[in-house]
Structure 1
Amino acid sequence: MPRDPFDYIIVGAGTAGCLLANRLSADPTKSVLLLEAGKKDNYLWIHVPVGYLYCIGNPRTDWMFQTEPTAGLNGRSLRYPRGKTLGGCSSINGMIYMRGQARDYDNWAALTGDEDWSWDKSLPDFKAHEHHYKLDGGADPKIGDNSRFSDLHGGDGELRIEKQRLRWDLLEAFAKAANEAGIESTDDFNSGDNAGVGYFEVTQKSGWRWNSSKAFLRPARDRKNLTVWTESHVERLVVETAEDGTKRCVGAVVRRGGDAVTVRASREVILSAGAIGSPHILQLSGIGPAPLLKSHGIEVLKDMPGVGENLQDHLQIRAIYKVENAKSMNTMANSLVGKAKIGLEYVLKRSGPMSMAPSQLGAFTRSDPSRPHANLEYHVQPLSLDAFGEDLHPFPAMTASVCNLNPTSRGHVRIKSNRVEDAPKIAPNYLATDEDRLIAAQSLKQVREIMAKPAMARFKPTEWKPGVQFQTDEDLARLAGDIANTIFHPTGTARMGRAEDPGAVVDTHLRVHGIKGLRVVDASVMPEIVSGNTNAPTLMIAEKAARWILAGS
């Protein structure tokens, strides 16, 4: 072992953990231990973009969580993918690069009283690690002068962001239909106002997935002061109490190769295990709601009611339409000849369906005109299936998934036992409020409006799910519960806030209240979920945290 104690121990080599390991180990005088429960990211399907189909639901790369049965989903339990490999969720996610809206971060600043979380103060932390294709040099011939993008994007960072390498007539038609429904086109979802319709940008490089392991660990792999342990499962944190009663996290107990090993940190332990893993580890360590911990025989080191509460997620309602006169992924991938063509195109060009993100076309708009900002996000796909990881339907079809960006329903993550091997209880509590159910119904009505526009007429779209027989808000909200699924954006379970806030777990510099030497740096610290996908905001959070940690603040 290079050094024990290490200066820093990072728990979780996912989206945030990889960036933190890079930034903290850049100082050769500081030693860093990065712990990952999963294996190395040397599995082929991690790197081929369409490989998410083989990574989700695969214990090689996925924690294989399930939610509790949910009343709002008519009693259904959902598969709840979380990345278990170097790169974490960035190794199995949809690769969409999306910051959210400026108002999200201004709201965080207002909620926490810390202007460092405002949009203007967060923008430099987004740009710091971006390697955006629009800033590669010459102007993009499709957009002309790209100088305006330098104010919003970075071109020298480690995270490659590219446009998608495919085109579908169905998606082009949907974009035009959205225009006809009053949704304007946009060429940049990441300006602070993501309203509009356009193609998502993706974290890919030349047709390969570009996960956080490639972006941040690969450049640091030869650093003598960075140690990376895979297949190393943290059982609990080690917290010591001084004579004056103050508590300090000094390390972690790690299950590695069948043995329990205690590792120590002289400066900080940083939890970056995600919105499910971080509260789970905190609770197992005696930091969490006292009644819950006592019920499982865990000594209460710090009674923190907010640990594991405030779970927020985006629920996508997957409206499926059968189509005619169109090439669909369903028809291409359901024949041997089609599969051969798809494979050959990827081998020769790194393009086509195998380079696809799960969703290609996006749209942000309002569920009704009274809304002050876009509160819906569409993920539009030239394919249909019952759920990711399952077979495509045998008929040509497309899917318009739509989600409420600002759900008011709140769930929780709670230990089921005092054994680290037992997965936590995950209860997202989807569609639990009248507002969320109303927006679900409005969403499905809006999809119908777009699909009925002239631009879609040549494809003769026929609603297959939920079905035109369902018309009332009550019917549509109930049917949404039958066809909706998670879009894999859990957040908020160790939220930041002021010391006097009983539900806050960390302060605005992400230090755990009442426990010295311990921070949480991942999506769990978000006080409210962002209005978009969560990978990019998690990287921004880690970028800020790295600066604070190195500055000792």
Structure 2
Amino acid sequence: MNRTSAPSSDTQHYDYVIVGSGAAGAIIANRLTQSGATVCVLEAGPPDNMLYLHIPAGFIKAVFNPKYAWQFSSEPTENTHGRRIPIPQGRTLGGSTSINGLIYNRGQSTDYDAWAALGNPGWGFNDVLPYFKSMEARTGGDDHYRGRSGELPISDIDWIHPLCSAFIDGAVETGIPRNEDYNGMYQAGVGYFQRTIDKGWRMSTARRFLKPIKSRSNLDIKTYAQASRILLEGKKAVGVAYCHPKQPNTTRTVMARKEIIIACGAINTPKLLQLSGIGPAGLLQEKNISVVHDLPGVGENLSDHYSVRVVAKVKNSDTINELVKGPRLAGQIFKWLTKKPSVMALSPSLVHYFWKSLPELDAPDLQGVFTPASYKEGYVGMLDDFPGMTAGIWQHRPQSRGHVRIKSADPFEDPIVQPNYLEHPQDQLTLIRGIRLARKLLQSKALERYFDEETLPGKLCESDNELLDFARQYGVSSYHVNGTAHMGPKSDRFAVVDNQLRVHGIENLRIADSSIMPSIPSANTCAATMMIGNKAGDLIRGRSTLR
């Protein structure tokens, strides 16, 4: 026996152990317990019992709260003007679905066809569409593309602001078509976002996939249970060592009779693998960790959407900046409590625009967001003191790649996270064009009566070099990190899992979260990660693909 750590005296045994209760992990637990298997879910954070986790507008209060979100940040580079970029990730039941921006966005069909073309049969769009549909409860749209009876409500906005209407009209005026369902046949266009909100409340995976099944006798959810190591017998995964964050010297263990599924995200998943001796041999040796399996791709291929916000002062209209202050905030809370449209039940971004940085492109390579609000220095957090509106933009498929690497063998030390934002010259060019598009849309004829002046980047910022410098100074993460344990065949030296999500070279170990994405989707990554969890449930149970 070659266990990396011996089990403690209070060891518990289950059929499956899932590390992480987020976008994928909660759904996997739901699916596996349906068939009677015993399942243990390890969640490093606390229960999701803070009110702000359930009120959509509570996003601002939750995302930077270290109790409920890992406060990761990128390493500084010249492309971010030496700044560390915050990359918070969920650290509570529901993971990032409990703190994110609530947008439901699948991406383009070609995203998934590209995954299949990279040597991952079963992951083309026609293969994954049934898994999107089976978890959706959506009203409207084409039945071919949309699900009706799933657990996850997908709602339309019910709070309409004149700035949003004018922005949409202005986008149409500039040649961007109106698109009522960007999760339907095609993505290109402008319109209102679809959200994981129902009756004014956030619909996290904890709320929709764990809470309804918490009474199942074959499900054991452990909170404050931070995984520190995968236990191995040779190259077979048999259990997980974990500890309470406030009791780091007391290790407990859970054992898996069948499989262990890692679902703790694109930063914590490679960290856990590396701590367990699975990863690049050179890195592990440098950190005095015994090499169990040399897997060079663990922690590599990190990608993220780097977003920039163009901000303008508003005239002739109130904005969210004013609606959430003083007595007016009390009025909004009252409306929310009485089930009326309110800013309390909004996602941070209200309007989408998917468009092309160059007219000759076949499909959008940019995603934009609009909201009748603005934040100090363009970063979601503190609202500006003046009436403002924001048009954000990011590149769909950045070519810059980075890495996640442990700093030491201490499981409580954050790893090095380096997305290498804007490293690739093409990313720089595409984002500059995106900024110009956002500016154009804010200054459309339809918005003319509301547009006062641009505050970020400001009218003096005009040349490509000036816009790039602005992007480097003010750009932020979209919190869409992915790709650090990417899926691919054995012929791909840097692939970490196969098309069944099994870790290459290790028995009884799978990964199911955004880290397995071979390339970043043309979308916010939450919906795709939930789909991965839904499909993983069938793969683990040996079921055929949904049709």
What TM-score do you get using the length of structure 1 for normalisation?
0.94
Task: Pick from 243, 255, 271 the counterpart of residue 255 of structure 1.
Answer: 243
- Does residue 503 of the first structure (1) align with residue 481 of the second (2)? no
Q: Distance in 2 between matches of 1:552 and 1:154?
A: 20
Could you tell me which of 377, 384, 402 is aligned with 1:411?
A: 402
Question: What whole-Å deviation, never above 9, does each CA across 1:85-127 have from its counterpart, x for those lacking one?
Answer: 000000000110110000000110101241x111111110101
Shift of 1:350: 4.7
Cα separation, partners in 2 of 1:262 and 1:387, compared to 1, 3 Å: farther
Is this contact kept in 1: 2:443–2:451, CA < 8 A?
no
How does 1:392-541 map onto structure 2 within 5 Å? 392-541=383-532
Following superposition, the deviation at residue 196 of structure 1 comes to: 0.4
Relative to 1, partners in 2 of residues 1:432 and 1:266: Cα closer, same or farther, differing over 3 Å?
same
Q: Which amino acid aligns with 2:53?
A: I
Counterpart-to-counterpart distance in 2, 1:423 and 1:277:
9
Could you say which residue in structure 2 is the equivalent of 1:268? 259
Does structure 1 residue 118 correspond to structure 2 residue 124? yes
Q: Does 1:313 align with 2:304?
A: yes
Query: How far, CA to CA, are the matches of 2:35 and 2:11 in structure 1?
Result: 15
Partner in structure 2 of residue 363 of structure 1? 353
Q: Cα offset for 1:477? A: 1.1
Which residue in 2 is equivalent to 1:237?
230
Amino acid across the alignment from 1:380: F
Select which of 191, 203, 208 maps to 1:210: 203
Q: Which residue in the other structure is 2:33 paired with?
A: 25
- Name the SS for the 1:150 alignment partner: coil
Q: Which amino acid aligns with 2:523?
A: G
Distance in 2 (CA, whole Å) between partners of 1:517 and 1:552 is 17
> For the Cα contact (< 8 Å) 1:440–1:476, is it kept in 2?
no
Aligned to 2:176: 183
Output one character per residue of 1:143-163: Cα deviation in whole Å (capped at 9) or x when no partner: xxxxx6221111111111111
Residue identity (%): 40
Counterparts of 1:360 and 1:2, CA distance in 2? 49
Change (3 A) 1:48 1:2: farther
Structure 1 runs, 4 residues or longer, greater than 6 Å off: none
Secondary structure class of the residue paired with 1:60: coil
In structure 2, the gaps of 5 or more residues are 1-8
Q: What's the offset of the Cα at 1:440?
A: 1.4
2:86 corresponds to = 79
User: Take 2:63 and 2:397, find their aligned partners in 1: how far apart are those partners?
Assistant: 25
1:329 and 2:347 correspond: no
Alignment of 1:77-116 (within 5 A): 77-114=84-121, 116=122
- How far residue 236 of structure 1 moved from its aligned partner, in angstroms, is 0.4
Shift of 1:215: 0.9
SS in 1 for 2:394: strand
Q: 1:101 to 1:2 in 2, by over 3 A?
A: farther
Computed over aligned residues only, the root mean square deviation of the Cα atoms, in angstroms, reads 1.5
SS in structure 2 at match of 1:467: coil
Say if 1:87 and 1:213, in contact at 8 Å, map to a contact too: yes
Matched, 1:58 2:65: yes
Letter in 2 for 1:160: P
SS at match of 2:448: helix
Counterparts of 2:435 and 2:527 in 1: how far apart (Å)? 28
Q: Which residue of 2 aligns with 1:244?
A: none
Shift of 1:332: 2.2
Residue identity opposite 1:229 in structure 2:
K
Whole-angstrom distance in 1 between the partners of 2:129 and 2:11: 36
Q: Which residue of 2 aligns with 1:130?
A: 136
Contact 2:46 2:92 in 1 (8 A): yes
How much has 1:388 moved relative to structure 2?
Answer: 5.1
CA-CA distance at 1:469 after TM superposition: 1.2
CA distance 1:192–1:248, change in 2 (3 Å): farther
Query: Deviations along 1:189-215, whole A, 9 cap, x unmatched?
Result: 101421000000100110100100111
Aligned residue for 1:253, secondary structure, equals: strand
- 8 Å CA contact 2:15–2:257 kept in 1: the answer is yes
CA displacement at 1:220 relative to structure 2: 1.2
CA distance in 2: counterparts of 1:223 and 1:149, whole angstroms: 35
* TM-score, structure 2 normalization: 0.95
Deviates more, 1:153-162 or 1:67-76: 67-76
The answer to whether structure 1 residue 195 and structure 2 residue 183 are counterparts is: no
Corresponding residue number in structure 2 for 1:354: 344
In the alignment, is the contact (CA less than 8 A) between 1:492 and 1:525 conserved in 2?
Answer: yes
Aligned 8 A contact 1:54 1:389 in 2: no
Q: Does 365-374 or 524-533 show the bigger shift?
A: 365-374
Q: Which residue of 2 aligns with 1:16?
A: 24
1-structure distance, mates of 2:210, 2:516: 23
1:223 aligned onto 2:216 = yes
Shifted more, 445-454 versus 188-197: the winner is: 445-454
1:339 and 2:329 aligned: yes
Q: CA deviation at 1:57?
A: 1.0
The one-letter code of the counterpart of 1:180 is E
Equivalents in 2 of 1:255, 1:409: separation in Å? Answer: 35
Unaligned runs of 5+ in 1: 135-147, 242-246
User: Take 1:192 and 1:312, find their aligned partners in 2: how far apart are those partners?
Assistant: 26
Question: Per-residue deviation at 1:67?
Answer: 1.6
Task: List per-residue Cα deviations over 1:325-377 (Å, max 9, x = no partner).
Answer: 112111222x3122222222112225211111010100100011122210111
8 Å CA contact 1:57, 1:389 repeated in 2: no
Change (3 A) 1:3 1:150: farther
| 1:166-192 Cα shifts (integer Å, max 9, x gaps) | 111111111111001110001101014
Question: Which deviations, in whole Å up to 9, do the C-alpha atoms of 1:429-452 show, x marking residues without a partner?
Answer: 101111011111111111222223
- CA-CA distance at 1:290 after TM superposition: 0.9
Whether contact under 8 Å (2:266, 2:482) holds in the other structure is yes
Q: Structure 1 residues 226 and 2, CA, compared in 2 at 3 Å: closer, same or farther?
A: farther
2:149 is the counterpart of 1:156: yes
Amino acid at match of 1:190: N
In structure 1, the residue corresponding to 2:482 is in which secondary structure? coil
